[in-house]
Amino acid sequence: MGSNDSHIPHPEHDRIRALHEMQILETPIEQRFEQITELLQSVFQVPISALSFVDRHRQWFKSIQGLRVEQTLRSVAFCQHTVKLNRTMVIPDARFDDVFGNNELVTGDPGIVFYAGTPVHAPDGSAIASLCVIGFEPRSLDRREIQILEQMAALTEIMLQSPRVSETEDTLLHHVGESWRTTMIDPLTRVWNADGIKTVIQESANQSKLKGQRVGVAMFELCGLDAYAHQHGLPACDELLIRFTRRALKAMKPSDSIGRLRAGEFALVLGNIADKDDLYDRTAILQMIADDLTPASDALPACLSGRIAGVLLHPQHPVGAAQAMEYVEEMLSHRHAQGSAIPLIGESTDSINEPFEKHHPAA
């Protein structure tokens, strides 16, 4: 929570400094904040909910439901007013509001009518973000609803001041600059890109040696995307990849990491793996997600399938990220491989069994 004078606006330069000290901008989406905005969307029954950080010239969404957007200009952002005022702001009908009536987000797409936002504070009490709900019909909030929104903002503040569950990701994000982080995030899915996840794999391998814990590295390939795009179009294919990523995040443990390598190929890092069966169980859930991706309403749904391959990195014999990824990619490329055992890189050759590979066509 902020200090006792958290409702007093802080000087803008202090506020911006506090925002950047949080090291939150240009970071991958996190399930803990997705849960906040998803809950708001459900509780308030609104089409859009978001956690929006207000920077110098933009608002950047750490989490947003109902819109596919990463950031907007600050000049059109409703949330900049919530942050500037440093108090809860409710706009029942923006079309007839003196401040927002001519805003392009009201007169054009997406056509905002109702807005309610409450500030989220940095440790020094500076308002750095807004937790908001948005609708397309006139509406107001009663006192109980405002309390719920403010309580969710307080919970968000606690989360922001808590490290990521993945110690590897938390350490990495606090040791690389914001400009570097922008090159490590996949713009479509907003998880790690190929360079980012390979860096996470390398850091995880290094930490596994220090902690004496096994780390699992796996690749998942979502097959049939070309046919799906041909039948439904590229925007629908992109939406499918986003849905897969969000569902994968929900299914994974908070300490795990996921990144998109290319097209429908994803890499996963799973920490503190007990054994080969544990790694198999924790990756097999992705195949069930693939089963459910194609909309049931499609008259002629494209045939999607998923393939997974993985290895365990032993702490006593760490390998580089490049070597681990090369080994897993090689397994995925040999579809004739059989067996369900997962090789343990670095252990005795007796421990290296046939590649773990699964090919599961969607129902």
Q: Which of 29-33, 159-163, 242-246, 330-334 has the lowest mean pLDDT?
A: 330-334
Please list, in sequence order, all residues whose beta carbon lies within 8 angstroms of the beta carbon of residue 121, skipping any fewer than 6 positions away: 1, 2, 6, 127, 128, 157
In the chain, CATH 3.30.70.270 covers 170-361
Nearest to 158 by CA among 281, 301, 50, 2: 2
Q: Which fold has domain 12-162?
A: Beta-Lactamase (3.30.450)
In the chain, CATH 3.30.450.40 covers 12-162
DSSP class of residue 192 equals B
Alpha helices in the chain (DSSP H): 12-21, 31-44, 79-85, 104-107, 143-160, 167-173, 178-181, 194-211, 225-232, 234-251, 276-291, 321-333
Of 1-10, 45-54, 256-265, 335-344, which one has max mean pLDDT? 45-54
For 29-63, the pLDDT digits (tens) are: 999 999 999 999 999 999 999 999 999 999 999 99
For 90-124, the pLDDT digits (tens) are: 999 999 999 999 999 999 999 999 999 999 999 99
Classify domain 170-361 at the CATH superfamily level. Answer: Reverse transcriptase/Diguanylate cyclase domain (3.30.70.270)
What is the pLDDT confidence band of residue 322, given thresholds at 50, 70 and 90?
A: confident
Place of tokens 């169980």: 281
For 189-228, the pLDDT digits (tens) are: 999 999 999 889 888 888 777 777 888 888 888 888 888 8
